Amino acid sequence: MYPRANCHVSGGKVCLSGSKAGGGSDGNLFEVKKGPISGFINHNFVNQLDLILPLEVYSQIKDAPILNDIFTHYRVRTKLCNLLNKQLLDVIGAGKIIKLITINKNSETSDIFISIIDNKLCLSLDKDNSERTGLKFTKSIFKKNNRYNYIFDFKTIGLNVNNNDFLKILRFLQLVNINDAGDYEFLFYITEKNGNPYNLTENELLQFKDYFETILPINYKASAATNLNSILIPSLEINNNDLKPDPEWCLETMEFLTYLSIGGSQLYSMDKTDPFISNFKKTIDFSSETTSTDIIKITFKNGLIHSAFISLQIISLINNLKISNWYSIINYGLLNTNYSWNLSEHLFHENGENHSIFLQNKDDYIQWQVTGGLDTH
């Protein structure tokens, strides 16, 4: 048996490249002196983002635009033959970036599963369908599944929609439409090249409606603050001078942050969770006179979240204010996807974890990336 999940840990120092908490023209909100903060930038499909921070930190940022702005993604129902339509290609041709994921099919067992990751079309098909395309697919690394993958980069089209591989894909989707009357449902959002969210204009939305059976804009924003009262905090000091983070501290800290995210009863002294399930109580002396802290949790959810933009805006905001305290951001990835980080193949069959956890304390940070046991991350 392989492990049900893996955890990749990295850390470094955060150093802002600019003085503003907004996106620059190049989209780089900050630079990192030691190791990249890739957990947010490369995390493909996130359906919940939690910001966790002490009340005193929240009081300084609660009126920031990022915690009050409204974001939009889109839910689509369509025949596959209408997915790669002229309007979608026009949006890409105008320099916009699209992320799209199938939501009514199983990425492991469905004959056809499709995503678009930063303008790269990612097809995951069974053997018969992969052979029908006339394209050279790569067999999935997951031996249990008869899956074949193909990635097509839309930038290879340029202004030439007669690209041979693209035409093969279109013909295949037309063939699927003849043989399969079922609709596919997708979630997608659009960003500018610099990562800023882009909302379709009314005219663009109308043009999409010429191809899709339905296209529904879905709005979301940060939730109201949830106050977790009187929480005893373990040591969150980050020591990045070591070549390797202390495994025990990493495990205990990740467990603590996760309990904050889910509001776990283990955070409170009266909890009676079996120590075989959680040994968190051993990390904090609840009988001591340690000063308790009020913790605030804010959640973004409701479909497909602009996780990279929101995460980097929060990091930039807090660092520009020179707040010398800790805070954490947790991104929960969609379990049912063919790729989790970048173009790293993802296994959904067993559990489907792909979550990123970020902790900054002073100018040090550490991040955890939790993946499925066989993921190629």
User: Per-residue pLDDT tens for 191-250?
Assistant: 999 899 999 999 999 999 999 999 999 999 999 999 988 788 888 888 766 556 788 888
pLDDT of residue 179: 66
In sequence order, what DSSP letters do the residues of 71-116 get, joined into one string?
Answer: EEEEEEEE-GGGTS-HHHHHHHHTT-EEEEEE-SS-TTTSSEEEEE
- Looking at the structure, tell me whether residues 350 and 272 fall in a common domain: yes
pLDDT of residue 288: 54
Q: Which helix (H) or strand (E) holds 127?
A: helix 127-133
- Biggest distance spanned by C-alpha atoms of the chain: 72
- Looking at the structure, tell me whether residues 77 and 131 fall in a common domain: yes
Q: Which of 26-30, 241-245, 271-275, 324-328 has the lowest mean pLDDT?
A: 26-30
- Looking at the structure, tell me whether residues 226 and 368 fall in a common domain: yes
Domain span including residue 156: 72-220
Q: Which residues contact 142 (CB under 8 A, 6 or more apart)?
A: 345, 347, 349, 374
Q: Which of 29-43, 81-95, 257-271 has the lowest mean pLDDT?
A: 29-43
Contact 176, 141 (CB under 8 A): no
- Looking at the structure, tell me whether residues 300 and 357 fall in a common domain: yes
Q: For the chain, what's the residue count?
A: 377
Q: 195, 220, 245: which is the final residue of a domain?
A: 220
- Looking at the structure, tell me whether residues 194 and 226 fall in a common domain: no
Res. 156: pLDDT tops 70:
yes
**Is 265 part of any domain?**
yes
- Looking at the structure, tell me whether residues 278 and 357 fall in a common domain: yes
Report how far residue 124's alpha carbon sits from residue 48's, in angstroms, rounded to the nearest whole number.
25
Report how far residue 23's alpha carbon sits from residue 189's, in angstroms, rounded to the nearest whole number.
18
**Is 377 part of any domain?**
no
- Looking at the structure, tell me whether residues 90 and 212 fall in a common domain: yes
Report how far residue 20's alpha carbon sits from residue 319's, in angstroms, rounded to the nearest whole number.
10
pLDDT of residue 72: 97
- Looking at the structure, tell me whether residues 183 and 230 fall in a common domain: no
Radius of gyration of the chain (CA): 22
Whether this model's pTM surpasses 0.85: yes
